[in-house]
Amino acid sequence: MIFSSDQRIRHAAYGNGTILHSDEQRTEIQFDQYGRKKFVTRMVQLEATDEPAPARSPRRSRKKAEQ
């Protein structure tokens, strides 16, 4: 099953996540607690969920060292 981008899902081992990309070959998911993972689309077992994504803190950029 091909999911749409930004769709919220639940995986048995990794919990809730958001679909980043899905096609016939691969599905890429950003999990709330486990980060980004890639799966073979026809083998991964997912269920849709209405649970919203957690609020993420903005990423801080590193300051370059002075030379």
pLDDT digit string, tens, across residues 5-43:
999 999 999 999 999 999 999 999 999 999 999 999 999
Domains held by the chain: number: 1
- Is 34 within the bounds of a domain? yes
Long-range contacts of 33-38 (CB under 8 A, 24+ apart): none
- Is 22 within the bounds of a domain? yes
- Is 27 within the bounds of a domain? yes
Residue 37 lies in domain: 8-48
Distance CA 8, CA 29 (A): 9
- Is 62 within the bounds of a domain? no
User: Who's near 30: CB < 8 A, 6+ residues apart?
Assistant: 17, 18, 20, 36
> If pLDDT is split at 50, 70 and 90, which confidence band does 67 have?
low
- Is 59 within the bounds of a domain? no
- Is 61 within the bounds of a domain? no
Q: Residue 25 gets which letter from DSSP? A: S
- Is 17 within the bounds of a domain? yes
Distance CA 37, CA 30 (A): 6
- Is 43 within the bounds of a domain? yes
CA pseudo-torsion sign 5, 10, 11, 15: positive
